[in-house]
Amino acid sequence: MALQLSEVISEHEFTSIAHVLYAAFHEPFNPFYELLNNTQGTYEEQIQAKAARHAEAWKDDPARHWLKITDSSNNNEVIAAASWLIYEEAPESSKAPIDAQWQPEGSIIREFTSRWLGAIVGSQQHALQKPHLVIDQLATHPSHRNSGAANMLLQWGLEQADRLGLEIMVNAVPAGLTYYQHFGFVDKGVVDPDMTIEEPSDEWKRLQKIDKHLYWMTRPPTCS
């Protein structure tokens, strides 16, 4: 394999990235994938919806950078991708409630996801009110693991963080815990908001039971 790192510069690149993210978060299976994605429709429809959503979020936010790894020995296939948020200034805290717009309008899963994400953001708001970096996505296609692709994507952000002297934050899925520890991230505690409500529907109860705990991890800048 001949791996190359490049920054995403066009919205058309998100379709191949969506294929990678889909595969990566199904192996190992991420039990709360259905919260963060609209899982209705065919595989192709889901990929198109996912690609469009990531492209929109990327276009709307100058702090957001997408990096991809391609294999030049195999037709420049995209095999891994990462999304970094770089806040050189403290980001403004948003007072607007989160709305999981990717979920069907009026659905329980939309209400549940919005509330769940709102609780996570609310509990971390204070820590985020300063210049910092966030790893929002990091994934390597299961067929191309252990070739150093994620390493290259992570290294890109670690260098930015160290150059700017900023802390990196990530809400890691359980499968990512030991991975990030390997790179000097420290586990600051489990993130698992209480989703209890009065008189929950069966669907709400089902979503409540999904294992969706995350690890809040940080890495301070290192001096060279």
Ligand X SMILES: CC(C)(COP(=O)(O)OP(=O)(O)OC[C@H]1O[C@@H](n2cnc3c(N)ncnc32)[C@H](O)[C@@H]1OP(=O)(O)O)[C@@H](O)C(=O)NCCC(=O)NCCS
Binding region for ligand X (CB under 6 A): 24-25, 80, 138-140, 145-151, 172-173, 175-176, 178-179, 182
Least Cα distance to 79 among 30, 152, 11, 133 occurs for: 152
Which of 19, 111 has the CB closer to ligand X? 19
With CB atoms as reference, the residue minimizing the distance to ligand X is 176
Which of 2, 96 has the CB closer to ligand X? 2
Min separation Cβ 178 and ligand X, Å: 4
Q: Nearest 5°: phi and psi at 134?
A: -130, 140
Which of 8, 217 has the CB closer to ligand X? 217
- Which DSSP category does 3 fall into? E
Min separation Cβ 201 and ligand X, Å: 30
Q: What is the Cα–Cα distance from 178 to 187, expressed in whole angstroms?
A: 10
Which residues on adjacent β-strands are paired with residue 4? 70
Which of 8, 36 has the CB closer to ligand X? 36
Q: Buried b / exposed e across 169-188, counting CB within 10 Å, b at 16+?
A: bbbbbeebeeebeeeebeee
Min separation Cβ 18 and ligand X, Å: 14
Min separation Cβ 157 and ligand X, Å: 13
